[in-house]
Amino acid sequence: MKNQVNQSPVVNIFNEWDPLEEVIVGILDGLTIPSYEPVMEGCIYDKAKSIFKTQYGKRWPKDEIDAAQKDLDEFIGILKSEGIKVRRPDKIDFSKPFAGPEWKSVCGLGAANPRDSLFVIGNDIIEAPMGWRSRYFECFAYRSLLKEYFSKGAGWVSAPKAQMNDNLYNKDFKSRNNEYVINNFEPIFDAADFIKCGRDIFAGVSSTCNEFGINWMQRYLDNKYGVGTFRVHTFRFNDQHPMHIDTTFYPLAPGKLLVHPERVVDIPKMFKDWDIIKAPNPCIPSTHPLYFSSPWMNLNVLMLDEKRVIVEKNEENTIKELKKHGFKPILCNFRNFNSFGGSFHCATLDIRRTGTLQSYF
């Protein structure tokens, strides 16, 4: 294979807000119900548990997937009309069983939420170890794209393969603030447990991300870019089902931080000069099915640049609040997609934004 390294990098990401040029958007094809596994005790809300315990290996209800697909098509249409290049994962059969030497998974999950599997920083793409056994091979859905980006000069690396045996999980775990179902047996993270803000990267300890995983990320970045180039900050939030930082703590633009009003109790001192935007309560009806998450999908917006932000069409309070802080919301229906674990930030993976590495503090 011929390696060509372009002058302008095909992969270029340093923050969440530089003008977006190319993005991967997840797919609903092949989305399968995984079976209940130890990590879910820390992530899944009680009312959603039974489907994983009884319906595993099956497809999600067709009418719900069809409705989510309609949302996704609308979202892709908006991105394209804003001039952004949209890329899609490979269609993989996630219904096949797989195993490690010490565990089995009856099937995979899907590739609806690329933000979880791959961490893009600078010109580099890092495959996450993943917090769920059922998601162990999820990054394979992106391998065609990864090979293409690699051939055009991007870095491509995988975090250490996790053993994911029973030693990783805390026995007698109970969902409480500051309790996590995983311990520090080995480095574990989902890519969405990190969020980027130039030289500063914020990580939330969660049931899919331990301190060992965060240390691995800091050490990797130190070795690759030099000590002090990136500063990974570790936070703990008040959340009984912590999973991923992007519904909790989200630097939207220079000087503007969006936070969950209850999970973030103390704003870190480094943000003393920033405009802190407390997310309003979500408007999603309590009857709407949410299989993987809390209703706080309203925080999970996508920045197209420092002003333009994609927001769920029905989240009127969030739309108002963002306008008040100088943003220009672009509205898109996404409720039905939300059922499957994420909103606009989760459903995408930024590949290229126009911009350079800077410090915002």
190 labelled catalytic: yes
Minimum CB separation of residue 215 from ligand DAV in Å reads 22
Q: Kindly tell me which of 35 and 247 has the beta carbon lying closer to ligand DAV.
A: 247
Q: Where are the alpha helices (DSSP H) in the chain?
A: 40-43, 49-54, 62-81, 143-151, 211-225, 316-324, 335-338
Question: Exactly one of 43, 139, 197, 346 is catalytic; which is it?
Answer: 346
Nearest to 199 by CA among 254, 268, 264, 259: 254
Q: Which is closer to ligand DAV, CB of 30 or CB of 342?
A: 342
Residue of 244, 246, 332, 350 marked catalytic: 244
- Residue number, 10 or 203, with CB nearest to ligand DAV: 203
The pattern of x and - marking residues 240 through 269 that bind ligand DAV according to CB under 6 A reads: ---xx-xx----------------------
Q: Please state, in angstroms and rounded to a whole number, the distance separating the CA atoms of residues 313 and 329.
A: 9
Choose which of 192, 203, 205, 330 interacts with ligand DAV (CB under 6 A).
192
* Segment lying near ligand DAV (by CB under 6 A), choices 12-20, 122-130, 151-159, 293-301: 293-301
Nearest distance from C-beta of residue 58 to ligand DAV, angstroms: 22
The answer to whether residue 200 is catalytic is: no
Terminal C-alpha separation, the chain: 42
Provide the b/e sequence for 97-127 (b: ≥16 CB within 10 Å). eeeeeebebbbbbbbbbbbbbbbbbbbbbbb
How far is it, in rounded angstroms, from Cα 149 to Cα 116?
18
Give the interface size with ligand DAV as a residue count (CB under 6 A). 10
Residue among 235, 329, 343, 349 at smallest CA distance from 296: 343
Coil, helix or strand at residue 207: coil
Minimum gap (Å) between residue 219 Cβ and ligand DAV: 25
- Could you tell me the smallest distance in angstroms from the CB atom of residue 272 to ligand DAV? 26
Residue 302 contacts ligand DAV per CB under 6 A = no
Q: Which is the catalytic residue, given 18, 71, 190, 193?
A: 190
How far apart, in whole angstroms, are the C-alpha atoms of residue 142 and residue 278? Answer: 34
- C-beta of 9: minimal distance to ligand DAV in Å? 27
C-alpha 204 chain-centroid distance:
12
**For residues 322 and 311, is the Cβ–Cβ distance under 8 A?**
yes
Return the number of the residue (105 or 247) whose C-beta is nearest ligand DAV: 247
Q: Which of 20, 15, 50, 23 is nearest to 35 (CA)?
A: 50
The amino acid that residue 117 corresponds to is S
CB of 197 to ligand DAV, least distance (A): 18
At residue 257's C-alpha, the angle toward residues 304 and 276, to 5°, is 135
Pick 33 or 243: Cβ nearer ligand DAV: 243
139 labelled catalytic: no
Alpha carbon 160 to its chain's center: 19
Q: Which residues contact 264 (CB under 8 A, 6 or more apart)?
A: 237, 238, 248, 249
Q: Pick the binder of ligand DAV from 12, 15, 210, 294 (CB under 6 A).
A: 294
For ligand DAV, which residue of 15, 175, 293, 318 counts as binding (CB under 6 A)? Answer: 293
List, by residue number, the catalytic residues.
190, 244, 346
**Contact residues for ligand DAV (CB under 6 A)?**
192, 243-244, 246-247, 293-294, 296, 342, 346
